Structures are given as structure tokens and as C-alpha cells.
Amino acid sequence: MKENTAKSKKSQERSKETKSRILGAAVLLFSQKGYDTTSVSEICTFAGVSKGAFFYHFSTKRALFLELLDNWLLDLEKSMEDIVKTSPNVPDALLNMTGIIKNVTNSSGGKLPLFLQFWSEATRDKEVWKATVSYYKKYRKYFAKIIERGIKEGSFKKVDLNVVSNMIVSFAIGLLLQELISSDEEDWEKLSREGLDMILQMLRG
Amino acid sequence: MKENTAKSKKSQERSKETKSRILGAAVLLFSQKGYDTTSVSEICTFAGVSKGAFFYHFSTKRALFLELLDNWLLDLEKSMEDIVKTSPNVPDALLNMTGIIKNVTNSSGGKLPLFLQFWSEATRDKEVWKATVSYYKKYRKYFAKIIERGIKEGSFKKVDLNVVSNMIVSFAIGLLLQELISSDEEDWEKLSREGLDMILQMLRG
């Protein structure tokens, strides 16, 4: 009995490791070659796993693609939640979040181009489109909640939550995209911090 | 002599028409199938032209891709210049520009997904990357010039031109991307107008 549990635990670990090898290979290949031109076979070869193992973990290449983005956005969300929890007030929390932009680019390990391919795919694939729309809605709602908290704590004047949360999300997307293609040309963290500073001034009224 | 000129004029017209047929076919195929998976042969078949004709006009598929974006961005620039010329002051000009977002989406005929593929390609192709970086620089410079004019005409307080122009360009990019994937879910023109209104309030000081 004990031996069986140990065995099953070992096999679970192996399965987890296989899955993360597949995910790692996919990130690399999608970023370098593009999602469209990367095949499941290539991912398997690169990861050193069988096709059977691939399809045990993912029903399709698209399912893998969606899981990659899910993981990435969950990490992002966790970082944002940590910042909110450890900041004394909403304006400070928002300013501290500009540091994430730097982390996202530095630690993405090639995941950022994926972020773009996600959009590209969303315009052609209904499932990917649905997932993308739901992410944006979620982020806009999240920032609306944060701004609302800022109003309640007395940091901000009363503003249209929908307009402001959309402005912040749009600003962040635009910054990320520009940083992605010209990371060395500008100090993006400074630009985002000072841009957000102006938005905060406006919110303070 | 006269006849020759007429002939050459006719052949020039035909050449121009061939080129625009190739460009039209490429927009459609790139948007529907993706840039990576569309071949020159497919573009030729769809446009009803020979490969010889294709390579007479474009050295590579990438050259065609870059020309498509050049044309599109030139149109956008012309629309913006027209608005600046016919607006009584800089704040009005900027507000009138939000109408462009609607036009861009409505009249793009599938060109917007291309806009995304451009970014995607930029992360993998040095030539495309150079072109993209130069476009963003150009737009940021353009908006810096407009804001500077607004300060001179007394509409705005003195602000950091680099920070503000980056904010406006980032905001516009983020809006375009979100509108692209969820055009029916939100009134993007209203969101962009009201967002810009807040930015203008801040610039007025």
C-alpha cells in the first residue's frame, strides 16, 4: 500500500515535469517561430516527449497556448495583488505596479511576443477571442475596483470608474507593446511612472 | 511618338492596377490566414497575377508587408494632419482625433489584425523591427509637437513633452487593440473621448 502511494507520487511528479517541459518548449518555439508555424511534433521533439504524452496533457495546440497565457496572467495577477496588499494606499499601490512592467519584460523569457500572437490569433479564432475578451474585462474590472477603493479611502475624487479603468489598462497595454519592441531605446519604467503620476494628479482632482 | 506615350501611359496604369490587386489580395490573406502561413504563390493566385508580376513590384513578401503598413500609416497621418488644420485649437484637434479610431476600425477592411501581426513579426525580424520602432518614434514626436503647440497657444500648462506624448500614444494603442477584439462590447469612441477629456483636463492644469 505504502509502496503504491510512493509510486503514484513519483509518477505524478514525472507527469508534472513532462507537462512543464512541454510548456517550456512551446514558449520558446512559439516566440521564435510563431504559433502558426510551430507544429505539435516540433514541440514534442524539442521537449523530448512522445505525442501520447503531449495529448495526455493538452487536447490541442490551442489548449496549450491558452494554458500558457492563463499561467502568465495568473502570475501577473498575483504580483498585482501582493503590491495592493503591501502598499499603504491606492495611489502608492498603482505607482508600485509600474515596477511590474520591468519584471514582465525581464523575466518573460520570450513570453512577451506570445502576448502579441495571442491578439493576432484572437482575431481569427473564436475560442482564443473569447478568452482574450474575458481577460480584458477582468483587468478593467480589477482596476475599477482599485480606483473605487481609492475614492473610498479619500485618495481620489469621484470619477467614472469605467473611463478611468479603461484608461489605465490601455496605457499599460500600449506601454508594454512599445517596450517590447524598443526596450533599449527608452527608460520605460520612468515613462510609465511619470505617466501614471500625471493620471494620479488628475484623479486627486 | 504620341502613340508611344499613350501606350506607355496605358501600361503604367495596368502596372499600377496589378500592384493594387496584389496589395488587396495580401491584406485579405494575411488577415485571414496570418502572414506566416500565406505564401507568395497564394497571393498571386488570389490576385490573378503571375509570379513575375509580383516580383516586379515587390522584392519579397516582407517588402509587400512593409509597404502595406506604410500605406496604412500614411493614410492615418493624413487624417490626423487634416484634423489639426481644421480644428480651432489643440485640445479640439485631439478630441476630434478620437473619431479616427472609429474610422480606422470601420474602414480597415481587415487591416487591423495586420497591425498586430506587424508587432508579432517585429519581435522576430530585424527589418520589421526597425520599421516598427521608427513608426512609434515618429508618432511620439508628432504628438510631442502637437502638445508643444498647445502650450504655446496657451491651452496647456508646461508639461514634460516626452511623458505626455508617450501617454497619448500608449493610450491610443491600448484602445485600438482592445477595440479590435471586442468592438461590440463597449462604446470605444465614447471611452476614448472621455479618457482623452481627462487627459486634457490634466494638461490644462
Distances A106 to A34, A98, A109, A184, A185 between C-alpha atoms, Å = 20, 13, 7, 12, 15
CB A21 within 8 A of CB A47: yes
Range of lowest pLDDT (A116-125, A130-139, B33-42, B56-65) = A116-125
Q: Do A163 and B34 touch (CB under 8 A)?
A: no
Burial class (CB in 10 A: 0-12, 13-18, 19+), B56: middle
The average pLDDT across B156-185 equals 84
Range of lowest pLDDT (A91-105, A135-149, B15-29, B188-202) = A91-105
Among B175, B178, B197, B199, pick the best mutation site for testing chain A contact (most A Cβ within 10 A): B178
Q: Scanning the structure block, which residue is given the C-alpha cell 480597415?
A: B108
Q: Which residue of A has its CA nearest to B116?
A: A120
* CA–CA distance, A182 with B140 (Å, rounded to integer): 13
DSSP string, B108-155: STT-HHHHHHHHHHHTT-HHHHHHHHHHHHHHHHHHHHHHHHHHHTTS
| Angle formed by the axes of helices A90-107 and A126-152, nearest 10° | 150
Tally Cβ neighbours within 10 Å of residue B100. Answer: 18
Distance from CA of A29 to the nearest CA of B (A): 12
Distance from CA of B182 to the nearest CA of A (A): 6
> What is the pLDDT at residue A139?
87
Q: What is the ipTM of this complex?
A: 0.77
Assess whether pLDDT exceeds 70 at residue A113.
no
Assess whether pLDDT exceeds 70 at residue A52.
yes
Q: Do A167 and B129 touch (CB under 8 A)?
A: no
Grid coordinates standing for B72?
Answer: 496604412
Domains of chain A as residue ranges with CATH = 1-58 (1.10.10.60), 66-204 (1.10.357.10)
Q: Is B43 helix (H, G, I), strand (E, B) or coil?
A: helix
Q: Which residues are within 8 A (CB) of A168 and not within 5 positions of it... i.e. 6 or more apart?
A: A94, A143, A147, A196, A199
Assess whether pLDDT exceeds 80 at residue A1.
no
Q: Do A122 and B169 touch (CB under 8 A)?
A: no
- Give one word for B158, left, alpha or beta, with left for phi > 0 and alpha for psi -120 to 50: beta
B132 chain-A contacts, CB cut-off 8 A: 181
Assess whether pLDDT exceeds 70 at residue A56.
yes
> What is the pLDDT at residue A15?
87
> What is the pLDDT at residue A76?
82
> Which one has a higher pLDDT value, A116 or B45?
B45
> What is the pLDDT at residue A103?
62
Among A29, A31, A167, pick the best mutation site for testing chain B contact (most B Cβ within 10 A): A167
CB A162 within 8 A of CB B157: no
**Could you report the per-residue pLDDT of B36-50, keeping only the tens digit for each?**
889 999 999 999 999
CB A188 within 8 A of CB A99: no
- Residue/partner pairs of A127-130 with CB below 8 Å, 24 or more apart: A127/A62, A127/A66, A128/A62, A128/A65, A128/A66, A129/B181
Among B119, B125, B159, B202, pick the best mutation site for testing chain A contact (most A Cβ within 10 A): B119
End-to-end CA distance of chain B: 67
* CA–CA distance, A179 with A118 (Å, rounded to integer): 17
